[in-house]
A and B are shown apart, each in its own frame.
Chain A
């Protein structure tokens, strides 16, 4: 069974706050849900599928309770920041199978105001692999830095090239009124920001903010008569890469498995994609993901991202909202990839609008490139 053409995104909402100490996580989710349902022209009573991540083990049931919902389909797949990209694909499949009609995907987080040190705090989990890792001081930044260092060694990728990604992303943020950091930066600014974990500088890293968002997915048929132009979910694919029993090539990402699969399932090629939302936890995440997805050859990401190619007006504009590097990153960013791609496809992005945007690619990375991570790819079209 293919999901192609069976489900569509009918509503989206990005919570405007980046700092929300006066709200609860569940309140951010409810406010986002209200916004997305209003965007779609639907109400809470229409919702029969509920999706979330970033809550406690059984938190999705508490969320349903908090919203006073009795959904017939629940999914709190938790694979890191990519979770919400994954939820969008799962929602499309559930709708195609007839398991629900209106899916609401919710995210809310206060990781900034809660002072959660996701990037540079220690690791302390009980999973089997962690017993061979936590004693060595892995941090999120450090885990990605391991990939960056190896990529530089094998392919000659430079800190200047990584910095260029942060610079372009900041330029996009300057066109997004909601973005947290909007003042332009230069390559030199990135290179002179302090090293957090070599070779990654502070400005190679995404921020930690508060925030949230929501997505409404329904059948293509139903979406046709709703408030906004439907954005069709053409395909979805997932994957995970890990330490591979000691044999992992650190310069590859899970995107290598899910990306080509998603393109093939949608029946489109790289050159057909008008814009891409690439999870940018760090500059290196973008570079390795673009290579792994096949937008350029392995090792050539450093030159691929140069000369305006990934900026607005370029061949493949990415992260037009300003990304996690400059707009927002409340711990997990997957939902914003789908929200921004949807707005671009609807032509609602104002100054940062990609011209004639008909086909968008989203790829979420959850976890860390250096240890283990998930990948979730999505092809969306108008």
Chain B
């Protein structure tokens, strides 16, 4: 309960399409979807393939590894949860599976973040039900 109170950033709204993604995150696992019909791997989670609208999708577990595609060190954000955590690093990470996802880079100083830097997924438990996938410098 105390932890729930402490977390002030916006939480994702779980819906019918994205529920399996966030359930996996709660288990500290990162999953992508792959279309059985056309083979497309995509992010973010949907109830259909954004190539051919096929509903026939597989959930594929990611390696959790990737590289920083781009980033910004945000020094000003007045909104709750962020204004007390400045500066923070927002980034697109390109996963080994080929897709780019928006995230935060944690576990290092903002000035240490570079494009191309190898990173790996880590999870922040926002509530008992919701964990947010973040990335930190790769350990190996």
Contacts and interface: CB of A to CB of B under 8 A. Distances in A.
A117 B83 CA distance: 13
Interface residues of B, number: 46
Contacts of B90: 136-138, 142, 146
A141 B44 contact: no
The prevalent SS among residues of B at the interface is loop
A139 B17 contact: no
Nearest to B97: A246
A137 B83 CA distance: 10
A247 B100 contact: yes
22 contacts: A120-B76, A120-B78, A121-B77, A122-B77, A128-B17, A132-B18, A133-B102, A135-B10, A136-B132, A137-B74, A137-B77, A137-B81, A139-B77, A149-B70, A195-B73, A196-B76, A197-B74, A197-B76, A198-B72, A198-B75, A246-B98, A247-B100
A227 interface: no
Contacts of A133: 102
A246 B100 CA distance: 5
A142 B101 contact: no
A219 to B, nearest CB: 41
Specify which of B14, B46, B99, B102 lies most central, judged by the most chain A CB atoms within 10 Å of its CB: B102
Contacts of B78: 117, 120-122
A250 B70 contact: yes
A369 to B, nearest CB: 11
A194 interface: yes
Interface of A: 117, 120-124, 126, 128-129, 131-139, 141-142, 145-150, 153, 194-200, 243, 245-248, 250, 371
Given A150-B70, A197-B76, 17 more contacts: A121-B79, A122-B81, A128-B18, A134-B9, A137-B9, A137-B82, A141-B76, A146-B72, A197-B73, A243-B100, A245-B50, A246-B42, A246-B43, A246-B44, A246-B98, A246-B99, A250-B92
A249 to B, nearest CB: 10
Contact of A147 (B15, B70, B74, B98): B70
B70 A128 contact: no
B12 interface: yes
B115 interface: yes
Contacts of B77: 120-122, 137, 139, 142
A122 B77 CA distance: 6
B13 interface: yes
Contacts of B17: 128
Contacts of B91: 146
A250 B71 CA distance: 11
A6 B122 CA distance: 58
Q: What are the 4 A-B residue pairs with the smallest beta carbon separation, nearest first? A: A122-B79, A246-B99, A246-B43, A145-B72
A199 B100 CA distance: 20
Interface string B41-76: 111111000110000000000000000011111111
A150 B12 contact: no
A247 to B, nearest CB: 7
B11 interface: yes
A245 B92 contact: no
B36 interface: no
Contacts of B9: 134-135, 137
B108 to A, nearest CB: 15
A128 B100 contact: no
Contacts of B46: 128
Nearest to B12: A131
A364 to B, nearest CB: 23
B10 A124 contact: yes
A120 to B, nearest CB: 4
B75 to A, nearest CB: 6
A245 B57 CA distance: 14
A129 B18 CA distance: 10
A323 B42 CA distance: 38
B28 to A, nearest CB: 16
Nearest to B95: A246
A114 B74 CA distance: 24
A372 to B, nearest CB: 11
B103 to A, nearest CB: 6
A302 B103 CA distance: 28
Contacts of B13: 126, 131
A196 B75 contact: yes
Interface string B4-38: 00000111111101100000000000000000000
